[in-house]
């Protein structure tokens, strides 16, 4: 299976709109491991790892996010999969 890892930074109105919880729910639906967290500068940072099609679905989802989000930009860094991620969690 072709594995992928994406390290993503999402900018816009992405905090206080249920972005992290929605990302966790969707990641679990599509079978992606990793984490998501808010950054002090107002962005959201996430790592998605798993089968390439599932990771690509998560990255695509980031361009819209949940209903009340307004995504201005998504910065995606493709990395070598580490295999270290287990499940998907919100980091505080």
- 13, 37, 38, 52: which one is catalytic? 38
In this structure, are residues 39 and 20 in contact, taking their beta carbons and an 8 Å threshold?
no
- 5, 20, 43, 57: which one is catalytic? 20
Whether 20 is catalytic is yes
Whether 18 is catalytic is no
Report the interhelical angle of 52-62 vs 19-30 (nearest 10°).
160
Read off the tokens for 32. Answer: 């992606």
Active site (catalytic) residues: 20, 38
């Amino acid at each position: 299976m072709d594995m992928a890892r994406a390290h993503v930074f999402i900018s816009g109105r992405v905090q206080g709109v249920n972005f992290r919880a929605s990302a966790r729910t969707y990641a679990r639906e599509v079978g992606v491991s990793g984490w998501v967290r808010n950054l002090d500068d107002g962005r959201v940072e996430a790592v998605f790892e798993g089968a390439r099609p599932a990771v690509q679905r998560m990255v695509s989802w980031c361009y819209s996010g949940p209903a009340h989000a307004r995504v201005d930009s998504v910065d995606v860094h493709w990395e070598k999969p580490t295999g270290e991620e287990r499940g998907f969690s919100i980091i505080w």
